[in-house]
Amino acid sequence: MGKLWGGRFSGVTDELMKRFNDSIGFDHRLFRSDIQGSAAYAAALAESGVITQQEAEMIRDGLDKVRLEFESESFEIQPGDEDIHTAVERRLSELVGPVAGKLHTGRSRNDQVATDTRLYLLSEISKLGLAVKQVQAAILTQSEHHIGVVMPGYTHLQQAQPLLFSHWLMSYFWKLERDNGRLADLKKRTSTLPLGSGALAGNPFGIDRASLAEKLGLAGITENSVDAVSDRDFLAEFLAWASILQVHLSGLAEDLIIWSSREFGFLQIDEAYATGSSLMPQKRNPDSLELVRGKTGRVVGHLFGLLMTLKGLPSSYNKDLQEDKEGLFDVIDSLSVELPVVEGVIRTLNVNVERMSASLDDSVLATDMADYLVRNGVPFRRSHELVGKAVKRSEQLGVSLRDLPLREYQHIDNAFGEDVNGIFDFRASLEARDVRGGTATASVREQFHRARECLEQT
């Protein structure tokens, strides 16, 4: 069997053009979705009387064989197989004869590939969604395990206020939980059937599209055939999802990389996720995390690539759309390895509890000192200024806030009483922030509770 579309052509395709045009090199991974879609379509053709039930069965049996050949890696790509759709139909016709030629009745590769890609993505979404949940589970477990650990919280990478380590770690749980929400939303838009849209004008053989959708497990059907064959919103939305997820992971990586430096020394990546240097024998580098951070560019780059490819295209199908797949596949492949690696890194994290608490500087209690003045009736804006002066004075004298003599405080303002030293308690500081979402132990335990509820949802 030659080209699917060769009848009106006299010339031959240029050899480089063939390489340029063929997508079999990457779209073969759609084989399962392609066969699934074709089997459902054959059934629909039979239902609407275009082919007989017997013909539909022959096609279905043939498609099963083709799928088995792919699954057992015995399928052989032939030179004429320009894409997965051509390859499957070609092999089907070898297996079942001319009846294979009836399968494509009323169908176009335009609605076919749109359907295949959606089915494929839906199946990958499930796996990725699970992998995200496993990262969340590792975060929750580690957070629960380390509930007592106090550390400095940072803004601008400067010590800000005391935090529970678990509170910091849980912040990533909630980022990922938003990713889950977005994934659920895009899943519902992906779960829509384009099949039955033909090349662009619709199907003239009375196909029952609603029943087709049901058979394929899709939640809805597209409302306009011109739109259906070219809609790639679901891919853009998926890549935007992956991009935001990557931004989250890059932040986690950044925190962990900085904290595993010798100077911070807050934690250490397990050897299973570190590598050494070819030159420097002492090295133990957090390569896993650097790759996580680095892959953000790649994923966002693919999103940008897709949007740019889509920009300014005339409506319905244009071949530019063939460029939608390689970036998608690369993102799926990247995340499929990356998410379990992140999970492993978290699960095996070595936390240096002593170093964290030893690192706390008294100045992180400056806000508590201002709050103390507030409770003594000083308006906050003024109390902030007074404490600022105390900080400056302590730096001038080279002592910590705790060691700044009371007379120095009172020299700044009489609102400072002897009881000001009551604020020098890191744990008390954090326990005071017991609002919902705050770092107090009770608030964090409440987070655990809600987090577990999230994880228990399907």
> What is the footprint of its own copies within residues 47-76 (CB under 8 A)?
50
- What is the DSSP secondary-structure string of 382-432? HHHHHHHHHHHHHHHHT--GGGS-HHHHHHH-TT--GGGGGG--HHHHHHH
Give the H/E segment covering residue 443: helix 441-456
Task: Report 10-49 residues binding its own copies (CB under 8 A).
Answer: 10-14, 16-17, 19-21
The span of 31-39, 133-141, 387-395, 414-422 binding its own copies (CB under 8 A) equals: 387-395
Task: Report 239-298 residues binding its own copies (CB under 8 A).
Answer: 240, 243-244, 246-247, 250-255, 257-258, 260-265, 270-288, 290-291, 293-298
| 370 in contact with its own copies (CB under 8 A) | yes
74 or 195, CB closer to its own copies? 195
70 or 344, CB closer to its own copies? 344
Residue 321 Cβ vs its own copies, minimum distance, rounded to whole Å:
7
The span of 30-38, 61-69, 153-161, 416-424 binding its own copies (CB under 8 A) equals: 153-161
Out of 95, 374, 399, 415, point to the residue binding its own copies (CB under 8 A). Answer: 374
- At 267, phi and psi to the nearest 5? -160, 170
Binding mask 200-239 for its own copies (x = CB under 8 A): xxxxxxxx-xx----------xxxxxxxxx-x-x--xx--
| 133 in contact with its own copies (CB under 8 A) | no
Out of 170, 218, 335, 420, point to the residue binding its own copies (CB under 8 A). Answer: 170
Q: Are residues 136 and 346 in contact, defined by beta-carbon separation less than 8 angstroms? A: no
- Per-residue CA distances from 395 to 45, 372, 399, 401, 407 (Å): 83, 21, 6, 9, 16
Catalytic site positions: 156, 277
Query: What amino acid occupies position 238?
Result: F
Q: DSSP label at 273?
A: G
| 149 in contact with its own copies (CB under 8 A) | no
Helices 165-190, 441-456: crossing angle, 10 deg rounding: 30
120 or 426, CB closer to its own copies? 426
74 or 108, CB closer to its own copies? 108
74 or 204, CB closer to its own copies? 204
| 148 in contact with its own copies (CB under 8 A) | no
Which SS3 state, helix, strand or coil, does residue 27 take?
A: helix
Helices 109-145, 233-259: crossing angle, 10 deg rounding: 30
Q: How far apart are CA 310 and CA 345, in angstroms?
A: 37
- At 434, phi and psi to the nearest 5? -100, 20
Out of 52, 64, 217, 380, point to the residue binding its own copies (CB under 8 A). Answer: 380
| 88 in contact with its own copies (CB under 8 A) | no
The span of 31-39, 59-67, 115-123, 302-310 binding its own copies (CB under 8 A) equals: 302-310
128 or 390, CB closer to its own copies? 390
| 89 in contact with its own copies (CB under 8 A) | yes
- Give the interface size with its own copies as a residue count (CB under 8 A): 206
Out of 321, 335, 404, 420, point to the residue binding its own copies (CB under 8 A). Answer: 321
Kind of pairing between the strands at 192-193 and 220-221: parallel
Tokens of 291: 């790759």
Task: Report 391-420 residues binding its own copies (CB under 8 A).
Answer: 391-392, 395, 401
Q: How far apart are CA 98 and CA 106, in angstroms?
A: 17
Out of 388, 403, 406, 442, point to the residue binding its own copies (CB under 8 A). Answer: 388
Q: Are residues 325 and 258 in contact, defined by beta-carbon separation less than 8 angstroms? A: no
- At 17, phi and psi to the nearest 5? -60, -40
Q: How far apart are CA 59 and CA 73, in angstroms?
A: 21
For tokens 């966002």, the residue is 300
Out of 24, 77, 95, 199, point to the residue binding its own copies (CB under 8 A). Answer: 199
Give the H/E segment covering residue 160: strand 158-164
117 or 443, CB closer to its own copies? 443
Tokens of 79: 């030179």
